[in-house]
Structure 1
Amino acid sequence: MPTRRVVTGRSREPRARFAEELRLLRTARGESLRQLGERLGWDWSLFGKMEKGETLGGPEVVQALDTYYGTPGLLLALWELAVSDKSQFLEGYRRYMALEADATSLWHFAVSVLPGLLQTEGYARELLVAGGLKGEELDQQVEARMGRRDLLEGDSAPPFRSVLSEAVLRTPLHDVAEWRTQLRHLVEMFERPDVTLHVLPFSAGPYGLDSTALMFLRLPDGRTVAYTENAHRGELIEESHSVDWLQRGYDQARDLALSPAESRKFVLRMLEEVPCDPSI
């Protein structure tokens, strides 16, 4: 399995950054656009337009490029940034994605919704609809989010730990069938060797991260950085004192949470509580 490619900050504008990465990956292999098109089964002119920034292409072709170049999820993440250029937190998110692509382990805390790495397509779609997306943009964002789950696939996948507040599991989807699918997917994720999940029950009482969705990235140089996010913006935190403060809050939440085995039983009990839809 190829090692993760480290993204650098060469271009600051998302569309230009995406196009530049495509050019660099192709030229590093010494391939022409025509050769690339023949090997992937797409018209080579599409890749030319993507490398010039004239079009972004669709998630299917971007995912095929990720697979071809051995950059699992990286190009999809850059594509997602180019498609949804949200200026209020774009710079920090670009930097975050660069670090995530090279992280050796990830620790997450979910305060209200499941992290994208654990979401099913139905869950992601309903969440994005609630955020105001629709039409083609909605479809693109759903596919991009599903593509990012490749980060946890393969022999080189980094260990991933997530502490899920009970509030996450007490906020079901409107579509009962999709909610059951999401809970079943969570149960399956407990079986993954590099995935560790905890449920933080309401009975644990107050804790220091009760309003903060949070991801920690352990980097190859030994540093840990944090990324906090809400519905409107995100913030990348690299200053060691602030990261340490958040780490203490995370450790407290993890210590109060159920063990992975008890957490799996918790999710199974919730699955049993979901009404069965006789039509499925």
Structure 2
Amino acid sequence: MPTRRAVTGRSREPRARFAEELRRLRAQRGESLRQLGDRLGWDWSLFGKMESGETLGGPEVVEALDQHYGTPGLLLALWELAINDQTQFRERYRRYMELEAKATSLWHFAVSVLPGLLQTPGYAGEVLAAGGSKGLDLEQQVQARMSRRSLLEGDDAPPFRTILSEAVLRTPLRDAREWRKQLEYLMGAADRGNVTVQVLPFRAGPYGLDGTDVWFLRLPGGHPVAYSENAYRGELIEEDRTVERLQRAYDAVRDLALPPAESRKFVLRMLEEVPCDPTN
């Protein structure tokens, strides 16, 4: 078997690095996607999806690309890194979900999207679709997200606090009716005894969690863990010093946020701005 080349490159995220190398090699050859598909015997759209990061393809396709481009083992090594990275992401998220179900209290900060525990089906659907989900996969993900909401319901539901950057409430859905439903649901959730909603206004200025959605869970026995995420990946954080550092940043953001009563008025103002009849 040929010796693999060293895996080095510009993008640090494995999936992006793999797609980047595919685009670079094809451009170097001066081939179109259709030409590449004709020469290798696969539908050209598959290569387009691989180069955009929408899919990773299978090992047989990647091996054929390695042979075609004269890069023995390089693309396969990058593909394996991307596959393993996705597997690790799913495993971290699965473990987070297990811990969330056991948590005695939860607190959260949102940069641009409402927390899944407070989303309506319409909101979840539009957000997940924007992330690339579609068809049956989209329906299943929406159903799974809606099932999580039961965590905050019932007499023994844990306390939950979310701090929403103003940007979350300034980013409406395309469907105004669904946006109204979402804001109404958020208002109703904030009236529950175990749910606290605060808004971090733009005027608060820079803050320590800028660009970071983060969840904190307090587990039975009092041990806290954190989970940070962006649009493409998440990280479960269990190391005490890192969790403590994130907690201090969260506490500073909480000091800058509007009190719950003022936050409720802020959400109400956002709701009043939504047309009652979006067709007019």
TM-score by length of 2: 0.68
Could you say which residue in structure 2 is the equivalent of 1:90? Answer: 90
1:276 Cα deviation after fit = 2.4
Contact 1:111/1:165, CA 8 A, preserved across alignment: yes
Partners of 1:278 and 1:201 in 2: CA distance: 26
* Count of residue pairs the alignment pairs up: 196
Contact 1:216/1:226, CA 8 A, preserved across alignment: yes
Q: Deviations over 1:50-84 (max 9, x none)?
A: xxxxxxxxxxxxxxxxxxxxxxxxxxxxxxxxxxx
Partners of 2:176 and 2:88 in 1: CA distance: 34
Contact 1:88/1:233, CA 8 A, preserved across alignment: no
Q: Deviations over 1:32-55 (max 9, x none)?
A: xxxxxxxxxxxxxxxxxxxxxxxx
- Residue identity matched to 2:188: E
- Residue identity matched to 1:152: L
Partners of 2:161 and 2:87 in 1: CA distance: 29
1:93 Cα deviation after fit = 1.1
1:101 Cα deviation after fit = 1.3
Where do residues 129-168 of structure 1 align in structure 2 (5 Å cutoff)? 129-168=129-168
Could you say which residue in structure 2 is the equivalent of 1:101? Answer: 101
> Alignment partner of 1:140: what SS?
helix
- Residue identity matched to 1:234: G
Partners of 1:214 and 1:179 in 2: CA distance: 23
Q: Deviations over 1:106-160 (max 9, x none)?
A: 0000011000001001000000111111111111111111111011111121100
The two structures, once aligned, show a CA RMSD in angstroms of 1.5
Structure 1 segments unaligned to the other structure (5+ residues): 1-84
Could you say which residue in structure 2 is the equivalent of 1:247? Answer: 247
Q: 1:239 to 1:180 in 2, by over 3 A?
A: same
1:189 Cα deviation after fit = 1.1
1:279 Cα deviation after fit = 5.5
1:275 Cα deviation after fit = 2.0
Q: Deviations over 1:216-267 (max 9, x none)?
A: 0001111110000011110011111100100011001111000100000000
- Residue identity matched to 1:225: V
> Alignment partner of 2:102: what SS?
coil
Moved more, 249-258 or 91-100: 91-100
Partners of 2:176 and 2:260 in 1: CA distance: 25
The answer to whether 1:193 aligns with 2:193 is: yes
Where do residues 1-280 of structure 1 align in structure 2 (5 Å cutoff)? 86-277=86-277
Partners of 1:131 and 1:278 in 2: CA distance: 25
Partners of 1:274 and 1:87 in 2: CA distance: 41
Report the structure number with the largest CA radius of gyration.
2
Contact 2:177/2:278, CA 8 A, preserved across alignment: no
1:88 Cα deviation after fit = 4.6
Partners of 2:278 and 2:176 in 1: CA distance: 11
Partners of 2:222 and 2:148 in 1: CA distance: 24
- Residue identity matched to 2:258: L
Identity %: 71
Could you say which residue in structure 1 is the equivalent of 2:16? Answer: none
Q: 1:186 to 1:131 in 2, by over 3 A?
A: same
